[in-house]
Amino acid sequence: MTKRFSTATVHPKSHTGLYLTAFLSVASCLCAFNSHATTIYKSIDENGNVFYTDQPLEGATALNNNNPNNAAPSNQRSEALDDAQEEAQQDARDRDLSNDRVAIAPNPNNQPKTAPVEEEIVYPPVSRVDIINPQNDALLLNPVGKIWVELQSSPSNLKESLLTAQLWMNGAMVNSGKRPMLALPIPERGSHMIQIKLVDHKNRLRMESDVVEFHVKFDIAETSE
């Protein structure tokens, strides 16, 4: 009957203490076998488990050469124990090196998500934009309600250009849209500067008009009793 003793399979990240535990188990087996003058064989299966038996398995290595009919001297048993200890420690070092070199294949179900590629919009050409109304240096006398600013772009009109028109007055944006008419709040008395800026869907400036200056005047009617 074959007596079979196995050492624990060591996980790649387990501590070295497990190797020492396995060795102590093997060493105690060697002492028992050597006391009866038995040859010990070391075998490693396909899963990396190490076995020590008193009968040779396939691919087994003899750790001592004791004759069953002739007990080995104590110094030979000691040497066999030393050899077993050295082999156990070497196995531990080899496993650590082997596990350090193993490359973990990426999980195909856990691939990093890539941001969708946004298609670049092709804008029709616009080489000029102008404010048609009010005209430069115009006088607005007693304006009532909204003041409409009319613009024109070429060679593509505002609708065809796919751009957005921004209406700026005195350095601040007051309105925006995709129509060639934008409403301007009634300004206070005095002179004002307006300008049209055409921007794309990312708010990037594509074209701007010349600055137009206009003047607002309110007459105060005299009242009599």
The mean pLDDT value of the chain amounts to 75
Which residue segment(s) compose the domain that 53 sits in? Answer: 4-100
In a domain, 114, yes or no: no
Residues 135-193 have pLDDT tens digits of: 999 999 988 888 899 999 999 999 899 999 999 999 999 999 999 999 988 888 999 99
> Could you tell me if residue 223 is inside a domain?
no
Per-residue pLDDT, 101: 56
Long-range pairs for 203-212: beta carbons < 8 A, 24 or more residues apart? 206/123, 206/126, 206/163, 207/126, 207/127, 207/128, 207/129, 207/153, 207/163, 208/129, 209/129, 209/130, 209/131, 209/151, 210/130, 210/131, 210/136, 212/131, 212/134, 212/135, 212/136
Other C-beta atoms lying within 10 Å of the C-beta of residue 173: 11
133 in the same domain as 89? no
More reliable by pLDDT, 40 or 20: 40
Query: Cis omega before residue 143 (within 30°)?
Result: no
Question: Based on the domain organization, do 139 and 93 belong to the same domain?
Answer: no
Same domain flag for 57 and 132: no
Residue scoring higher pLDDT (133 or 86): 133
Q: Look at residue 31 and tell me if it is in a domain.
A: yes
Find the CATH number of the domain harbouring 213. Answer: 2.60.40.10
Does 108 reside within a domain?
no
Asked whether the whole model's pTM tops 0.95, one would answer: no
Residue 187, preceding peptide bond in cis (omega within 30° of 0): no
Task: Assess if residue 110 is contained within a domain.
Answer: no
Mark whether 83 and 154 lie in a shared domain: no
> Of 48, 65, 100, at which residue does a domain stop?
100
Domain check: are 84 and 133 in the same one?
no
Pairing of strands 205-208, 172-177: unpaired
Residue 54, C-beta contacts closer than 8 angstroms, at least 6 positions apart: 2, 3, 33, 38, 39, 40, 41
Residue 113: inside a domain, yes or no? no
pLDDT value of position 197: 96
Q: Are residues 96 and 130 in the same domain?
A: no
Domain total in the chain: 2
- Of 127 and 220, the structure prediction assigns the larger pLDDT to 127
Are 131 and 86 part of one and the same domain? no
